[in-house]
Structure 1
């Protein structure tokens, strides 16, 4: 790491990411986004204004994939590296199945970050899943983040519905409601959105209610000109020519090239149908389809298998064998050679996509001196306008696509002009150096604007003597109060004896919806010693020890963007809400009684607040109480803040609760205990490996949960006497 400069954390969660020979096209999750983040990381790290770039992704231990993806760290250059952290199943799984495990990645990064010489100054998330991780980390660490979607759920769902998909079936496969909700949350919290084209901001991000176009900046990706360049010899690479020509009866004809993942949005089938249905085009050219690896399509994922089955049937239906090449496998280094072979044979590159956020392959073709024909599907229109190296045709029109290809091949003089334009204009407008210059201007401007606020939020974050137990604790027990600790005096006394027997190894805390003063009163009434830490007001305050000294850093952290009076006014006319007594309110907390059956869906309430320009965290408990908190406040956020601040791993936190306001401290890397008298809103947590559902209620349920978890794994020494529930 350079001593000076900005430290950037890139987050890209899904797919298979490695620095050497990335397996682009291996599956639907390992495509252009992987290449983008790798090249962005390297390009940023080359700039003297950047101290370090970390690329955070998932560690995968799976015999079906390379051992490379199980390496915790991989260098990308002198000041860039890939950081892989394990979360979710060890095996490789598709991105739609990762959403349940993202909280674990947040927690693993908090542990990792404690050993860093400094925290990142800025994060940049890629796709909705990484965006959700960035929202959580930004909230906990007060680090701003930029976001790039790469693709958006609303656009994909709309496209698949137009193609004849059934909404219920699509939801089962892609979980669009969850994804779109997460994307709305990401767009609401991101400090900036980096888009590749103007069309992307207007027609794709513009579909989202929480997208603010004032925070969007268009910065086109770069192209690696060291890899993609025009042919230097008139003779094609022999190995590449053999790979392609063995399929073709007349290999010297112009070559129509298409490179894309085998997914419906790439519309490879549409290109084959257009080519096969046009006798003049078939006579004039050969077709080369490079669509990932398919040594045995039976072993591909369902989407890839179905795409290739459709392609093979189309080859057969149009009797294209001898006119179409479709290599089963290729290496990453072969991709530039595909473009050069097509350029040497005076062919064209075709992008038939029904929807394209940008179109990196069009830049690669341009840099190689290969003219293009592309559908007007989004980003490509900007590339063609800038590079002047081909034609744009309407999407979803096979006849127009075929006619466009014939037209591009028909005029040798124009073909040569396009071939000259591409490399020159890519050097002018689409280098990674130009991208990084604009990127860093945005980043540094953002950081300057946030510097004062960040300093205020972090002020006072150093530990003091009031929280000395946290300096030496090996584990922390945090319990809700009402109906979790209270309810059974004998069991509570036994639990407190268990805690007392482990003083020194164990810190004890409570997390309550009550204000701190009220929490202390109820604890005294039940004979509970003053905890080491009190999380009060559903996470809106943190205080330490007998003097209840406030954690000022937490208070400053959550106060940002909190407009209590405006929120109270906005919620005044919401049906089914009645303010609780004044003593239950707080500076950073509004509490309401809910009238069953009258309150609108919570999502609608949140959306109304967003339209009013207000930010808040809405927490419903037992369908009877609603707490309105700062966006950064909750019990779970407070627990994670304590873990980071005091350097105690989250898997050494045992948390116990009974209702909805305990939910976000029960998920993630903490060891959760749900007591037997819990509310129904926690039932969907059953089956999670780190959430134990006790049969016993209240403190007896907490003791039961402590028996379930092996205390030796928590670093606790066994207690003595009958109060010890044992491992």
Structure 2
């Protein structure tokens, strides 16, 4: 899979605290195994010879309560691998359930990062539901494949919580579960490849979704760092975490029952403690060590972690486990491999009692450390146990059976030794990062470079890398002269610079596509339709939802229609031309009041709208933030391209706003009278040619396909003492 430039891959993992060193695993419900997985995946991908660059894009956090490294824009974590942090909502650290309103802005920030890199990624890989939503937006806008990994799925979580007795309304309030599920459906609908960790995850969990398509599902077991996670050696010595554990234990030489997870109800720590606390023989045979993240003050933690940890402390007291159970307040990420090795050296066992476990990274780490496991009979553990043959699977809700199983695991020494050896071999053969990355890139290689006839399946958008964009009105500007249009399209196609192409029209999207096809115009990179009230991109017609949200400000459609119904000389156009953010009328200048009077009428009723008059007979009412001109300015910000690099062409009044300001304006010779007032402005060129010929003339005037000439605006005082614009 070779490419002259090598692959560029964007991984998206929005929530949690992500950095390249000393990950704060278990700090909270959002900083778990997924954060480690994406960091390790980025590093492993960057090591592959076919990969040039990997960007792990996450949320920038500027908050005195967390380390300042999370505010850093870019962090190199390996040669060719970077963590890129972009703004997403408030600057402070937030739990994932409240980030949903800010994800469109997150996607826009990633687009600007792509422009800074100067290259469109080969694909985007979203991790978890929120990043699946962002990834679907990015992949659609960039016209590249989307890879999706759910990690844990909303439908499964909701069912588990319902089974545990939690009320549906409480689940919705706490976890925003409906929005999460809808985002997962969107990601599955958009994904070219869905990567699962286990067969059970693909065959059973994803099957709960409407957009489950087995042909797009691929099981690629997660990798683990086999250098970091290794069996104990005689020369290991005493690791730093040992002293912390000895504070809790009367006899630290006993076998260790180890559990490592974040303080999350789904991790089912309470049932493990119950299993140990109600089994006296198990207490005599082994110590219990529960590492449930880091904490300073339980009362200051989020509700979920607070409940889990409070329950844990109450259970310690209930079962009188003082001296038998360790529950350290703090640990570092480098302590985790030591904990596995300590447990293995003691003849202990690793326990994962989670209610549901789609992933099971800790089980792989334990296996690679030579530590047998007892784990929930769900998802990841099933496949890991099949591959490693190094322990037991259990019912996570049966505390009595759990205790007896753990006791059996640590008391049969011969079987323990066989399990330890099996785990080491299974981890090497099935869970090395190199094999994960090899399978992953092989699948994507076949997906990307598969061809249908002579067309590559994914025709990447050039918007993030173009250095100029031509935007033209359609009727009486782009179209009207067939020969001129052919010359214009040929000139754009053969340009030696990277130029994007867009249209801005009063037509609705359906009518726009029809007329473009009729005149042989390829679907543009940008489609601004309905007088600037809608923006879409490329042949897939990806809607810009950020623009819709932006222009919805103070828009009261029903009230405006009622207010306009009393004005004479206006007639609503047909329903087919009406849009969510556009009300269109026929305007009779002999019967209707002036445009200024119509604006005053709406303002007196506290109705905020933009009134656009064009071609001497059309009147459009738009949101106050909508117009072709404002759409151009929005695109300038979104795609990181200065307005001076936009050449805009039009012929009528509804083009006025996009022709003025810092854009390079071209008015074709066959223009409406409404634009006469723009004559004399240095950045508005009035062409002598009509239709597309006028656009070609404007391209030459500004040297738009060359070095771009930006005429400066100068003010000169005329003989009447008035100021007019004059070309420099």
Over 3 Å counting, the alpha-carbon distance change for 1:460 and 1:79 in structure 2 is closer
Write out per-residue CA displacement over residues 627-680 of structure 1, whole angstroms, 9 at most, x where no aligned residue.
Answer: xxxxxxx933349999x9xxxxxxxxxxxxxxxx9965232xx67655454679
User: Which of 520, 524, 536 in structure 2 is aligned with 1:554?
Assistant: 524
1:6 is aligned to 2:4: no
Q: Counterparts of 1:71-86 in structure 2 under 5 Å?
A: 71-86=72-87
In 2, Cα distance between equivalents of 1:29 and 1:463: 34
Quickly say closer, same or farther: Cα 1:534–1:77, change in 2 above 3 A. same
Corresponding residue SS for 2:450? helix
Match of 1:665 in 2: 547
Cα shift readout 1:580-619 (whole Å, capped 9, x = no counterpart): xxxxxxxxx9xxxxxxxxxxxxxxxxxxxxxxxxxxxxxx
Any conservation in 2 of the 1:243–1:327 contact (CA below 8 Å)?
yes
* Structure-to-structure mapping, 1:570-719, within 5 angstroms: 635-638=534-537, 665-667=547-549, 673-677=553-557, 695-699=607-611
Q: Where does residue 225 of structure 2 map in the other structure?
A: 224
Contact 1:666–1:673 (8 Å) recurs in 2? no
Unaligned runs of 5+ in 2: 481-501, 561-578, 582-604, 613-620, 644-660, 663-712, 716-721
Mark the CA change 1:459 to 1:143 in structure 2 (over 3 Å): closer, same or farther. Answer: closer
Cα pair 2:119 2:464 within 8 Å, conserved? no
Cα 1:641–1:46 shift into 2, 3 Å: same
TM-score by length of 2: 0.70
Q: Quote the offset at 1:73 in angstroms.
A: 0.7
What SS does the aligned partner of 1:52 have?
strand
Deviations 1:407-441 (A, max 9, x none): 00111111111112211221111100111111111
Number of the residue aligned with 2:391: 390
Instruction: Tell me if 1:534 matches 2:504.
Output: yes
Question: Cα–Cα, structure 1 residues 219 and 547, in superposed 2: closer, same or farther, change >3 Å?
Answer: closer
User: Do the aligned partners of 2:141 and 2:461 also contact (CA within 8 Å) in 1?
Assistant: no
CA displacement at 1:111 relative to structure 2: 2.0
What is the match of residue 657 of structure 1? Answer: none
Whole-angstrom distance in 1 between the partners of 2:407 and 2:202: 33
| CA–CA distance in structure 2, aligned partners of residues 173 and 457 of structure 1 | 41
Equivalents in 1 of 2:7, 2:464: separation in Å?
A: 23
Residue of structure 2 equivalent to 1:246: 247
Q: Distance in 1 between matches of 2:160 and 2:339?
A: 29
Q: Could you state the TM-score of these two structures normalised by the residue count of structure 1?
A: 0.70
Note the 1:84-123 alignment, pairs <5 A. 84-123=85-124
Query: Which deviates the most, 448-457 or 68-77?
Result: 448-457
* Alpha-carbon contact 1:57-1:83 (below 8 Å) kept: yes
Distance apart, 1:386 and its partner CA: 1.0
Distance 2:28 2:714 in 1: 52
Higher alpha-carbon deviation: 386-395 or 196-205: 386-395
Residue 363 of structure 1 is matched in structure 2 by 364
Would you say the 8 A contact 2:268–2:396 is kept in 1?
A: no
- Number of the residue aligned with 1:474: none
Counterpart of 1:43 in structure 2 is 44
> 1:10, 1:233 → 2: CA distance?
40
Q: Is the 8 A contact 2:554 2:608 kept in 1?
A: no
Residues 460, 99 of structure 1: alpha-carbon distance in 2 compared, 3 angstrom cutoff: closer
Cα distance in 1 for residues equivalent to 2:244 and 2:237: 12
- 1:165-189 Cα offsets, whole Å, 9 max, x none, are 1111111111111111111111111
Tell me if the contact between 1:519 and 1:536 (Cα under 8 Å) persists in the aligned partners. no
Matched residues in 2 for 1:722 and 1:673: separation?
Answer: 35
Q: 1:460 to 1:368 in 2, by over 3 A?
A: closer
Asked whether the 8 Å contact 1:637–1:665 carries over to 2, the reply is no
For 2:155 and 2:465, the matched residues in 1 are separated by 45
Write out aligned runs for 1:62-211 (5 A). 62-211=63-212
- Measure the CA separation in 2 of the matches of 1:694 and 1:518: 36
Retained in 2: the 8 A contact 1:639–1:665? Answer: no
How far has the Cα of 1:349 moved from its partner? 0.5
Q: 1:462 to 1:305 in 2, by over 3 A?
A: closer
For the Cα contact (< 8 Å) 1:457–1:554, is it kept in 2? no
How many positions carry a matched residue from both structures?
569
Partner of 1:581: none
Distance in 1 of aligned mates of 2:195 and 2:476: 46
Contact 1:5 1:49 in 2 (8 A): yes
Correspondence list, 1:353-432, <5 A: 353-432=354-433
> Which is greater in Rg?
2
- Residue 499 of structure 1 aligns with which residue? none
CA contact (8 A) 2:271 2:399 kept: yes
The 8 Å contact of residues 120 and 462 in structure 2, kept in 1 or not, is answered as: no
Question: C-alpha root-mean-square deviation of aligned residues, in Å?
Answer: 4.2
Displacement over 6 Å in runs of 4+: 459-464, 515-521, 545-550, 639-642, 679-683, 700-704, 717-723
Displacement of 1:695: 3.1
- Unpaired segments of 5 or more residues in structure 1? 472-506, 522-531, 559-588, 590-620, 622-633, 645-660, 684-692
Cα distance change, pair 267–462 in 1 and its aligned pair in 2 (3 A) = closer
What secondary structure, in the 3-state scheme, does the structure 2 residue paired with 1:392 have? strand
Deviation of residue 458 (structure 1)? 5.7
Match of 1:334 in 2: 335
Where 2:357 maps in the other structure, the secondary structure is coil
